[in-house]
Amino acid sequence: MTPTEQTKTTLVVFDMAGTTVEDTGLVQQSFLAADEYAGLSKNADERAEMLRYVHDTMGQSKIVVFRHLSRGNEEQAQAANKAFERCYAQLVEDGNCSPVPGAVETISALREQGVKVALTTGFAHETQSAIIRALGWENLADVVLCPGEGVRGRPYPDMPLTALLRTGTDSVQQMVVVGDTSSDITSGVRSGARASIGVLTGAHNAEQLRNAGATHVLDSVAELPALLATLV
């Protein structure tokens, strides 16, 4: 294998909500529903603080976020997480999500070029499946991953590295990670990916993404193929 082949991008790991999936406001709506169900906040100030924390931790495994918000009350965290997932899945099934413009075309073009694609999320498996069904994405990616047994959520590097293993990618230097949150970027950096690329279609701004270690910041995934062509 030549040096160029060793560093050619052969795997792209995409986040879903905010990166490839447009779901404006659904996370906040679902967290508010979970708060109402499980009683995470006691007043308007606590609710506002909760939503700030939710925004700051976008991309992370939702049960981890709920464990923080419940101050370690596992029963309350589990109840809130289930309420969140139910609400989000229902919103999705009601038609409240769509592909980010250019996402399907970008992923399809990459796969036509022989690049493997993984879709990852901080949602539970059932919610991720609801999104994929709603969008008709059952055959869009090579690998679909979420936090679960043996696979920690972001900001840990587990999902990119699991995608690398499952696709038989030779090296982390052939892998690129793409996401809209600081947690996505941190996960990519920790995995050793050759590039951790932020996009501005979701939760965090360019400064937040760069502070997390983003190697590049794009307006959207539609710009990704042009960038990858320069990573030689």
Alpha-helix residue ranges (DSSP H) falling in 8-144: 26-38, 44-56, 62-69, 74-93, 103-112, 125-135
CA 44 to centroid of chain Cα atoms:
29
Residues 141, 63: one domain?
A: no
Alpha-carbon span 176 to 7, nearest angstrom: 11
User: What CATH code is carried by the domain that includes residue 161?
Assistant: 3.40.50.1000
pLDDT above 70: percentage of residues in the chain: 97
Residues 116, 201: one domain?
A: yes
Work out the mean pLDDT of the chain and round it to a whole number.
91
* pLDDT reported for residue 6: 54
Residues 112, 168: one domain?
A: yes
pLDDT band at 1; cut points 50, 70, 90: very low
Alpha-carbon span 166 to 161, nearest angstrom: 9
Residues 66, 43: one domain?
A: yes
| Digit-coded pLDDT (tens) for 122-139 | 888 888 998 999 999 999
Query: Looking at per-residue confidence, does 164 or 93 come out higher?
Result: 164
Q: Are 14 and 178 in contact (CB under 8 A)?
A: yes
Range of the domain at 171: 3-23+98-228
* pLDDT reported for residue 232: 65
Residues 65, 118: one domain?
A: no
Could you say which of 68, 93, 118 is where a domain stops? 93
* pLDDT reported for residue 59: 78
159 pLDDT higher than 60: yes
35 pLDDT higher than 80: yes
Q: Are 47 and 41 in contact (CB under 8 A)?
A: yes
Mean pLDDT of 169-182: 96
* pLDDT reported for residue 115: 96
| Digit-coded pLDDT (tens) for 39-91 | 898 899 988 988 889 888 887 888 888 999 998 899 999 999 999 888 988 88
* pLDDT reported for residue 60: 81
* pLDDT reported for residue 181: 93
Residues 108, 175: one domain?
A: yes
Residues 63, 159: one domain?
A: no
What total number of domains does the chain contain? Answer: 2
Alpha-carbon span 141 to 108, nearest angstrom: 9
